[in-house]
Amino acid sequence: MLVPFTKTHIEPLTSWFKDEVSLAKWSGPGFRYPFTEDTFFQDLNTEKLASFCLLSEQGDFVAFGQFYNRLDRIHLARLVVNPAFRGKGIAARLINSLIQKGKAQLQLNSASLFVLSDNLPAVAAYQKSGFMKAQYPTRIPLENCEYMVKTC
């Protein structure tokens, strides 16, 4: 079940990032480290980015993701699966749920995302969900970053 992210979800989400490298790989530029729950919440920019939690049937917080309109696509951002639940197909459920929510809210029929090319589990999950590498219309300012798109 996809539910709106609130500040009550911040503590478990922050616990998924044990060091600056894992945080930067997930968050992209601009996230502060070390962080507090308050700075983490601020850096998520939930006022501008639609932010959601994926909960299991038992109510466990299993994944997080955001989306917004970028180049007339549902742009998925900051996707992460709770480390305790990885390898169970949750990334696909998160992606599909966010795309459905994005289609309803943004009235768009394609999706996009950025991924670091050395994040092989993420690249594989996105390809399995139908994303393909594409040329971004301008230079991507982040080293080692790929742009991927999918028609919904």
Q: Above 90 in pLDDT, residue 9?
A: yes
Alpha helices in the chain (DSSP H): 10-14, 20-27, 37-44, 90-106, 120-128
Q: Are 17 and 26 in contact (CB under 8 A)?
A: yes
Q: Model's pTM, two decimal places?
A: 0.96
Mean pLDDT over 88-98 rounds to: 97
pLDDT at 146: 97
